[in-house]
């Protein structure tokens, strides 16, 4: 198998998908999800674990590795809006720009579930600072996983924050899973052996969730058990019929909301 340049997501939820891949002949680099997409679009990697919305944005017609995704069916725990107001009263939303799919999901749900059209502001994922400039804040990944609601300091005082899990809202709204990311690349980037190696890594990684969480949080043992529960209970790694239906619906809703120009068909490596 030729060496394939993989762009993987640096967050905990992606680690089961890269389990043992370096030994299998892949060159793996880790970045935030949005950077994985940028690297793929520019040709600096062959295949990326890209935000699902980025499948519609590249100039190339990408293929998807079958059977593998980062998804949720119900609460995801790591993609959330934090707000000091009822969502119907939110007029501005600060966005963690690390993941473009989460931003797209937030925009879709603002329109379809919350029935609002807030002003959007891109910011670094610092909740207190975000809430100084906006009514609510979108935060993703490891930052959100261990950030619950409650009281935080805002503008020299204290504010009560509600954490709204967007995976939960999506499934309650549609009855379907939400797909945050998947492996995608140009159609000639992977041969049959490489596709099989990625699928095997997923299977083995899911089986070793506790070991992966323990290694990931080596310097924070108090987080290891919670990390393992997250990988086991919140994140789903299959891209089956229900996930495909959820993905296609998300694309349609994103196009209707003006997040992307148009939806597209799903193309897979054989």
pLDDT tens profile 145-177: 999 877 766 666 677 899 999 999 999 999 999
Question: What's the rounded mean pLDDT across residues 48-63?
Answer: 92
Q: What is the pTM of this model?
A: 0.94
Identify the pLDDT of residue 97.
84
Greatest extent of the chain over all pairs of C-alpha atoms, in Å: 59
CB 187 within 8 A of CB 269: yes
Q: Tens of pLDDT along 183-227?
A: 999 999 999 999 999 999 999 999 999 999 999 999 999 999 999
The closest of 260, 116, 114, 245 to 173, measured between CA atoms, is 114
Dist CA 30 CA 7 (whole Å) = 6
Dist CA 270 CA 263 (whole Å) = 22
Q: Are residues 107 and 120 in the same domain?
A: yes
Q: With a cut of 80, say whether residue 241 has pLDDT above it.
A: yes
Domain that holds residue 155: 79-174
Q: Tens of pLDDT along 98-138?
A: 888 999 999 999 999 999 999 999 999 999 899 999 999 99
- 262 within domain boundaries: no
Out of 174, 209, 240, a domain closes at 174
Q: Are residues 116 and 140 in the same domain?
A: yes
Q: Are residues 146 and 112 in the same domain?
A: yes
Query: What average pLDDT is seen over the chain?
Result: 93
Identify the pLDDT of residue 262.
92
The closest of 99, 70, 4 to 202, measured between CA atoms, is 70
* CATH of residue 109: 3.40.190.10
Q: Are residues 10 and 133 in the same domain?
A: no
Identify the pLDDT of residue 81.
98
Q: How many structural domains does the chain have?
A: 2
- 261 within domain boundaries: no
Element (H, E) at 174: helix 166-174
How do the residues of the chain divide into helix, strand and coil, expressed in percent and rounded to 5?
40, 25, 35
């Amino acid at each position: 198998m030729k060496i394939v340049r993989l762009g993987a997501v640096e967050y905990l939820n992606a680690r089961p998908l890269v389990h043992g891949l370096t030994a299998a002949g892949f060159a793996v680099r880790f970045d935030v999800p949005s950077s994985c997409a940028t690297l793929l679009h520019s040709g600096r990697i062959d295949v990326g674990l890209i935000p699902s919305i980025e499948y519609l944005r590249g100039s190339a017609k990408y293929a998807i590795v079958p059977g593998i995704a980062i998804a949720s069916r119900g609460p995801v725990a790591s993609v959330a809006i934090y707000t000091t107001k009822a969502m119907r009263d939110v007029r501005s939303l600060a966005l963690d720009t690390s993941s473009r799919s989460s931003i797209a999901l937030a925009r879709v749900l603002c329109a379809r579930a919350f029935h609002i059209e807030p002003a959007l502001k891109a910011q670094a994922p610092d909740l207190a600072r975000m809430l100084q400039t906006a009514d609510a804040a979108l935060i993703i990944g490891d930052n959100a996983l261990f950030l619950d609601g409650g009281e935080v300091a805002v503008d020299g005082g204290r504010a009560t924050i509600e954490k709204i899990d967007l995976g939960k809202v999506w499934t309650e709204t549609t009855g379907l899973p939400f797909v945050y990311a998947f492996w995608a690349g140009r159609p000639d980037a992977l041969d049959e052996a490489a596709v099989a190696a990625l699928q095997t890594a997923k299977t083995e990684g899911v089986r070793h969730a506790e070991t992966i969480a323990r290694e990931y949080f080596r310097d924070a043992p108090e987080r290891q058990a919670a990390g393992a529960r997250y990988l086991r209970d919140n994140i789903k790694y299959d891209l089956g019929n229900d996930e495909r239906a959820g993905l296609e619906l998300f694309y349609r809703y994103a196009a209707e909301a003006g997040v992307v120009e148009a939806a597209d068909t799903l193309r897979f490596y054989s």
